Structure 1
Amino acid sequence: MRIGIIGTGPAGLFLGATLARRGHAVLAVDRDTGPDPDGTWARRGVMQFHHPHGVRPQVGEGLLAELPEAHAAWVAAGAEPIVFVLPDGRRMTGGMRSRRATFERALRDVATREPGLEIRRGHVDGVAVSGGRARGLVVDGVGEPVDLVVDASGRSGRATRDLTGGPAVEGDTGAAYVSRQYRLHDPADPGPMTNPLAWQADLDGYQVIVFRHEAGVFSVLLVRPAGSLRELRHEAVFDAACRAIPGLDAWTDPGRAVPITPVLPGGRLYNHYRSQPDVDGLVLVGDAVCTTTPMFGRGLATTMMQCRELLRRIDTGEIGGFGAWCDAEMRPWVEDHVRSDDHARRAWAGGDVDLTGPLPSPLIMAAAEVDGRIGAALGPYLAMLAGPASLDTVEPLAHAVYAGGWRPAPAAGPTREELATLLRRTAAS
């Protein structure tokens, strides 16, 4: 087939290269020009490009299966496997430590050399549709006939907006965030970790996560209710917050690490799921299908899961079933985030656990501290090998824990109000 792809982010690049490798003629269109000659890459319009990402096992597995050269280039650029030991002594790979920019550079370097894939700088004005079927792309006013259109343009993409209707699930989390990248001094050791992927502290009214990346680089992410702690966008204020939060002070101690980026503000966070359009020859993939808040680091994993399923269906001629697969496999993750973020918003406002309905996954996981039977069921869910419904069997156990009066204690550190007071003082000085 001749296939047109809208967007050259992770989904567009991965699918473009793998489809071309299968013998299809692929045109991928994006306004982004790629890295500049000096190596910098602004990636304008993709806010999350420079913010931290958790890179789960599904991403590396997809590259190894389809584009092993890209995986090798990624490792050569410094990406590090996360290996942890299970209680029975087995060793398990839990993903990769890497910045998204490092991942995309390696993927793009391989994709741009793939015969049969044309990456063109341009703007997709829309999709040509006739007789209920997508017939081509309109690129900068010029028609490009194709047999299949893949929209990998992301949540904010507009080229297919009028063909897909509104989101089936959408939620403004009421949260926003800021982040900053640091590099450990050589030979300084990393700071504390709460799990193999990150260090996390759920404080009274906000959340802090440190994501380790490659080559001693790590990112600090502060998630806050939108409209609060706005002063964090200033570097001196951000530094003051890092010094005030136990654990984070160890990570960002000038004797341990040095910042390598300015403070990077992020916009409001949204969970979103969009069903497949009722147009033959047009499929959505990646962030065009779903986005979730970054606290669980699932975005690249859900993208890779979709890409591999779409490849399988193109190979077997079963593209028409991709929408049902997304509804069954992707939508539950978005709904899981909506419930989780609704709870976080309530808790940040001082509300108690809502026991009138099923508990969100973070509360189920926290209850494992009290009832060990819960912890035994968490592994497949945390690895995204089983969907959120896999927690249904232990939800009643967690419900009983909270009905008995137990509540998870916030991490040690200033409350949001205390931190706000400190930040205002720092900003004023």
Structure 2
Amino acid sequence: MRVGIIGAGPTGLFLAGGLARRGHAVTVVDRDTGPGADGRWPRRGVMQFHHAHAFRAPCRTALEAELPGAAARWDEAGAEPTFVTLPDGSRRLMTVLSRRETFETALRAAALAEPGVDFRPGHVDAVLVEDGRAAGLAVDGTTVAADLVLDAAGRSGRATAAVRPAPTAGGDCGIAYVDRQYQLRPGAGPGPLTNPMAWQADLDGYQVILFPHERGIFSVVLLRPTATRALLGLRHAAAFEAACRAVPGLDTWTDPERSRPLTDVLPGGRLFNHYRPQTHPDGRLALPGLVLVGDAVGTTTPNFGRGVTLSLLQAQQLLALVDEHGRDVDALGHAFDAWCDARVRPWVEDHAVMDDGLRRRWRGEDVDLDGPLPSDLVMAAAAVDPAIGAAVGPYAAMLAGPEVLDPVRERARAVYASGWRPAFDEGPDAAELAAVVAGALT
């Protein structure tokens, strides 16, 4: 087939390379022309590009299956796999430590090197429609004919805005964040970790997460409720650094003797959980011949770092469905919609419940034992009831969906019904942190 792809982010690049390796003719369009001659890549228009990311095992296995050249380039750039030891003594890949820039640079080089991939720098003005079907792309006044159009331009992509169905799950999370990249100084060892992927502190009124990347680089993320306006000042370097000094554990990582900042403080936008189907409520495809994929279908808040993994799982499934349905792109669209409803929507709904519970706890409310028990609280309850722990691993690694926790949710509910609550980690509460921020800015 001739395939037109809107967006050369991780999802679009992965699909471009995978489709070309299957013999399809692929044109992928993006305004960003890639890294500069000096290797730097501002990636303007993609706010989250330099923010913290996590890459779970399915990201690596997807690359190895579909674009092994990208996996090799990623390794050469310094990507660091981490493993967990299972009860039987075997080791399982848990995550790959890397910045998104490092990952996407490797993926881009490998995908665009595939014969059959044509990269067009430019802006997609619209999807061409003939006889009620997608027929290609209008790109800066020129046309790109296509039998299948894939929208990998993200949650707010404009080229298909007029035909996209309305989201059916998720919404504004009521959470905002800022982060900053650092690098360990030569010879300096890392600070504490709470799991192979991150260090996390759950404090009274906010949350701190540190994601290690490659070559001693790491990102510090501070998440707060959008209602807490007193913490807006964290976007300023002096306030951010003062907050780092105030939180035990984080102060170890960001000690100027141990590490140095690589970037300015990077404010994030408003966060949304978001699920969008391929079809309207009456079951009609949004536009026959057009398939939404990646963030255009589902996004989750970044506090669990699931975004790229969820997108590549979609892309890998879409490739399998192309193999199955061939040029029957209507069957492809319906089949992918059904898969996303079963495999993507639950992650979005899971995050929506967790974010709602987190905001409530930040306001000082108790655990709601009558409503859905958030998955983060299910995992925390494993500290009291070890039988819960067997389900946590596959959930955390995204080797199974949120339903893997269903058999242990009532056990977790019983833990909370007994009166147990996870303690806040050591550090200032939100009001005390606000005072730290205010003091740093005076």
CA drift of 1:150 comes to 0.3
Amino acid across the alignment from 1:303: S
CA RMSD in angstroms, aligned pairs only? 1.1
Match of 1:314 among 302, 316, 322: 322
- Name the SS of the counterpart of 2:187 in structure 1: coil
Cα distance in 2 between the residues matched to 1:268 and 1:178: 11
CA drift of 1:259 comes to 0.8
CA drift of 1:424 comes to 0.2
Cα distance in 2 between the residues matched to 1:418 and 1:363: 25
The aligned residue for residue 51 of structure 2 is 51
Whether 2:308 is the aligned partner of 1:294: answer no
Task: Count how many residue pairs are aligned between Structure 1 and Structure 2.
Answer: 428
CA drift of 1:352 comes to 1.1
- Mapping of residues 122-201 of structure 1, within 5 Å: 122-201=122-201
Match of 2:411 among 393, 397, 414: 397
CA drift of 1:399 comes to 1.0
CA drift of 1:275 comes to 0.2
Per-residue CA distance 1:349-380 (angstroms, 9 max, x = gap): 11111111220101111111111111122111
Per-residue CA distance 1:168-213 (angstroms, 9 max, x = gap): 1131111111111111112111100100100000000000011010
CA drift of 1:142 comes to 2.8
Per-residue CA distance 1:240-287 (angstroms, 9 max, x = gap): 110100000001111111111111111111100110141221111111
- Name the SS of the counterpart of 2:260 in structure 1: strand
Cα distance in 1 between the residues matched to 2:391 and 2:108: 38
- Mapping of residues 209-248 of structure 1, within 5 Å: 209-226=209-226, 227-248=229-250
Cα distance in 2 between the residues matched to 1:382 and 1:107: 24
Gaps of 5+ in 2: 280-284, 326-330
- Name the SS of the counterpart of 1:200 in structure 2: strand
CA drift of 1:144 comes to 2.1
- Name the SS of the counterpart of 2:43 in structure 1: coil
Cα distance in 2 between the residues matched to 1:269 and 1:35: 27
The aligned residue for residue 65 of structure 1 is 65
CA drift of 1:106 comes to 0.5
Q: Is the 8 A contact 1:358 1:395 kept in 2?
A: no
CA drift of 1:131 comes to 3.2
The aligned residue for residue 343 of structure 2 is 329
CA drift of 1:123 comes to 1.0
Whether 2:253 is the aligned partner of 1:251: answer yes
Cα distance in 2 between the residues matched to 1:37 and 1:384: 36
Q: TM-score, normalised by structure 2?
A: 0.95
CA drift of 1:38 comes to 2.2
Q: Is the 8 A contact 2:206 2:362 kept in 1?
A: yes
Q: Is the 8 A contact 2:243 2:433 kept in 1?
A: yes
CA drift of 1:45 comes to 1.2
- Name the SS of the counterpart of 1:33 in structure 2: coil
Whether 2:360 is the aligned partner of 1:346: answer yes
- Mapping of residues 408-423 of structure 1, within 5 Å: 408-423=422-437
Match of 2:273 among 250, 271, 274: 271
Amino acid across the alignment from 1:92: R
- Name the SS of the counterpart of 2:162 in structure 1: helix
Q: Is the 8 A contact 1:234 1:263 kept in 2?
A: yes
- Mapping of residues 373-392 of structure 1, within 5 Å: 373-392=387-406
Q: TM-score, normalised by structure 1?
A: 0.98
CA drift of 1:416 comes to 0.5
Per-residue CA distance 1:371-391 (angstroms, 9 max, x = gap): 111112211111112211121
The aligned residue for residue 372 of structure 1 is 386
Q: Is the 8 A contact 2:183 2:217 kept in 1?
A: yes
CA drift of 1:118 comes to 0.8
Match of 1:261 among 255, 260, 263: 263
Q: Is the 8 A contact 1:271 1:290 kept in 2?
A: yes
Match of 2:376 among 362, 367, 386: 362
The aligned residue for residue 5 of structure 2 is 5
CA drift of 1:72 comes to 0.6
The aligned residue for residue 328 of structure 2 is none
Moved more, 18-27 or 408-417: 18-27
- Name the SS of the counterpart of 1:72 in structure 2: helix
Change (3 A) 1:228 1:325: farther
- Name the SS of the counterpart of 2:426 in structure 1: coil
CA drift of 1:61 comes to 0.6
Amino acid across the alignment from 1:145: A
Per-residue CA distance 1:24-55 (angstroms, 9 max, x = gap): 11111111111122221111111110001110
Cα distance in 1 between the residues matched to 2:87 and 2:18: 38
Cα distance in 1 between the residues matched to 2:381 and 2:211: 24
Q: Structure 1: which 4+ aligned runs deviate by more than 4 Å?
A: none
The aligned residue for residue 91 of structure 2 is 91
Cα distance in 2 between the residues matched to 1:87 and 1:175: 37
Q: Is the 8 A contact 2:353 2:372 kept in 1?
A: no
